[in-house]
Chains A and B, each alone.
Chain A
Amino acid sequence: MPVQTQGKDTAGEPAVRKAEAPSGPRGTTRGTTASSGRRAAAAPYLLLLPALLATLILLGWPLVKNGMLSFQNLNARQLIQHLTEWNGVENYQEALGSSEFWSVVQRTVWFTAANVVLIMLLGTLIGLLLARLGRRMRLLLMLGLVLAWAMPVIAATTVYQWLFAQRFGVVNWLLDKAGWHSMADYNWLGTQFSTFSVVTLLIVWQSVPFVAINLYAATTTVPKELYEAASLDGAGAWTSFTSVTFPFLRPFLYATTFLEVIWVFKAFPQIFAINEGGPDRLTETLPIYAFVEGVGNQHFGMGAAISFLTILVLIVITSYYLRAVIKQEEDEL
């Protein structure tokens, strides 16, 4: 679960300032040799070296390789014979020129938007509910949330397949008992909409706890005096929410929305393991599409091009927040 936000460096800052002050033998005696001074100056870089090397080799290299592959004509034949056939921007032209690609992009954006809106709405409401509950009820609800949150994705996917199984699935039984008899033997993986519904339910169920618990944690940091001041000014529940709670929670909501967008956009196992993007490839989002085209259909060069375009789409969607994060980090360091 990727969690970084905000880039505020309030905790690191004072420590770092102090580190600037001469410390240790370097500043106290003038007799320090130049070499030990140089060693001290090199220390941070040496400490960072393993992390940096790992990032370059394990992340940078695949990214570069991905870029190179996307300009190659690389299918099963070239792969087996280890041929390198450059074909310029042909892959990109073909992808951008096909209506299929654009419909996948559109589908991915809608899918991401629908999920994130549901997650943020429900997560916020449940987070606020947590803040209102008594201790015991709060612990109970927390336990439920933590269980859903901690379920490994593939285990959760398997359980959802069982809940929504055509025969003996408990969801169909409930719908049938509720009077919706045509649902008794409903095949949830038979249509695009119903498959997406199951996937959405699964993703929302697993993501809401993170938002709710974080939001609740954030509400506990709101100073009580602010509420007292608000109620002295005659603010009701709603006004005190909009004038005190919400402004306080805004950074958290902002950061969490950003994380959820990335997370939902990249969702792979949930969709793939439930129905491999089916029926008829109708639930393929961009990551699945890149995988099926590239690996499944052995158009590796094409898959690489699609994957690059996918990264591009993700960057466009998140650019606003990304810029804010980087700018904030640079301002505050």
Chain B
Amino acid sequence: MKRSPFGRIWPNATAVLLFAVFAFPVYWMFATAFKPQGDIISEDPVWFPTDVTLAHFDKAVHADHFWTLVRNSVTVTVVAVLLSLVIALLASFALARMRFKGRRGFIVTFMLAQMAPWEVMVIAIYMLVRDSDMLDSLVPLTAFYMMMVLPLTLLTLRGYVAAVPKELEESAMVDGCTRTQAFVKVIFPLLAPGLMATSLFGFITAWNEFPLVLILNKGIEHQTLPLWLSQFRTAFGDDWGATMAASSLFALPILILFIFLQRKAVSGLTDGAVKG
């Protein structure tokens, strides 16, 4: 289909407008974080900060417990995602490569597990964790975050494993590798990009999690960044500069990760989860 130059104006104009609408809140977060206080509380908004200050970032990173919270968030997220990758890798290998009784049942189970309504199970989880004397600890948080991301990780990885030609593995086995060796030496390296893309959504889920930590960890030194950020009003008063600086610091790792891995992750999701 040929299009006249005139026919391109409307789609392009709409695209620019939509770009502005979608990017603006993110821009406004970063812009506010760098503005001097006077520019933030001015009667007319300052659209492009000319006067740039790092004072808000300084305030955010020197807030009480900030670094403890960063460490908590990073620990919980990384451990949960790594654990789920290991567990999912084992399971996905079985599901993608082996034929056995109950296979279908396992897959349906994990599909249902993916719909788990974590948001409404917090009371039961609270009771279980309290009865095990584990409130205010990062261990149950890590375990539950691992479980939150496990089904998706598993189902997506199954697609990636299935996509690696079986012949590669077989020829390695003909060359004298055991099945395990064939997996470690041949398949695993081929899965690396898939593993990275798969873990992206796990990272986002665990990094973001809010209701569970809200109910399980009351002591500030055992909390994570999302909870702290949601309570910024008490932490900073109505200090939007510091709040936006803290939000920027919180969002930045995920934004960077996402932009780098997005293309792979999206095709991984459609190939791996949708079709796989």
A317–B213 alpha-carbon span in the complex (Å): 28
A51–B95 alpha-carbon span in the complex (Å): 12
State whether the Cβ of B55 lies closer than 8 Å to any Cβ in chain A: no
Q: List the A residue with the shortest CB-CB distance to B267.
A: A217
Contact with B along A58-86 (1 / 0, CB 8 A): 11011101100100000000000000000
Contact residues in A for B93 (Cβ distance below 8 Å): 47
State whether the Cβ of B195 lies closer than 8 Å to any Cβ in chain A: no
- Evaluate contact between A307 and B226: CB separation under 8 angstroms: no
State whether the Cβ of B53 lies closer than 8 Å to any Cβ in chain A: no
Contact with B along A163-188 (1 / 0, CB 8 A): 10101101001000000000000000
Select which of B118, B226, B230, B274 is within 8 A of A5 by beta carbon: B274
Q: Please count how many residues in chain B sit with their CB below 8 Å of the partner chain's CB atoms.
A: 113
- Evaluate contact between B90 and A12: CB separation under 8 angstroms: no
Contact residues in A for B120 (Cβ distance below 8 Å): 266, 286-287, 290-291, 306-307, 310-311
Contact with B along A33-63 (1 / 0, CB 8 A): 0000000010111011011101100110111
| Residue of B146, B151, B201 most packed against chain A (CB within 10 A) | B151
State whether the Cβ of B71 lies closer than 8 Å to any Cβ in chain A: no
Interface-facing stretch out of A96-104, A109-117, A154-162, A241-249: A154-162
Contact with B along A2-45 (1 / 0, CB 8 A): 11111111111001111110011000000000000000010111
State whether the Cβ of B135 lies closer than 8 Å to any Cβ in chain A: no
State whether the Cβ of A329 lies closer than 8 Å to any Cβ in chain B: yes
Query: How many A-B pairs with Cβ below 8 Å?
Result: 328
A125–B104 alpha-carbon span in the complex (Å): 36
- Evaluate contact between B103 and A141: CB separation under 8 angstroms: no
State whether the Cβ of A226 lies closer than 8 Å to any Cβ in chain B: no
Contacts A69-B123, A144-B22 given; indicate if A154 touches B99 (C-beta within 8 A): no
- Evaluate contact between B104 and A330: CB separation under 8 angstroms: yes
- Evaluate contact between B117 and A266: CB separation under 8 angstroms: yes
Contact residues in B for A273 (Cβ distance below 8 Å): 210, 230
A87–B100 alpha-carbon span in the complex (Å): 44
Select which of A55, A69, A168, A314 is within 8 A of B124 by beta carbon: A69
- Evaluate contact between B103 and A44: CB separation under 8 angstroms: yes
State whether the Cβ of A277 lies closer than 8 Å to any Cβ in chain B: no
State whether the Cβ of B66 lies closer than 8 Å to any Cβ in chain A: no
State whether the Cβ of B192 lies closer than 8 Å to any Cβ in chain A: no
Q: List 10 A-B contacts (CB under 8 A).
A: A3-B269, A58-B143, A62-B125, A149-B258, A152-B251, A168-B40, A217-B266, A252-B274, A268-B211, A326-B111
Known: A4-B273, A7-B111, A129-B18. 17 other contacts (CB 8 A): A15-B162, A44-B103, A51-B87, A55-B150, A59-B113, A61-B128, A129-B15, A133-B15, A152-B250, A157-B230, A158-B229, A162-B28, A217-B266, A286-B120, A300-B123, A307-B121, A307-B123
4 closest residue pairs by CB, A with B: A150-B258, A144-B22, A66-B124, A307-B120
Residues of B within 8 A of A (CB): 1, 8, 11-12, 14-16, 18-23, 25-26, 28-29, 32, 40-42, 44-45, 86-88, 90-91, 93-100, 103-104, 106-111, 113-128, 143-144, 146-147, 150-152, 154-156, 158-159, 162-163, 166, 170, 173, 179, 201, 204-205, 207-208, 210-211, 215, 225-226, 229-230, 232, 240, 243-244, 247-248, 250-251, 254-255, 257-259, 262, 266-267, 269-271, 273-276
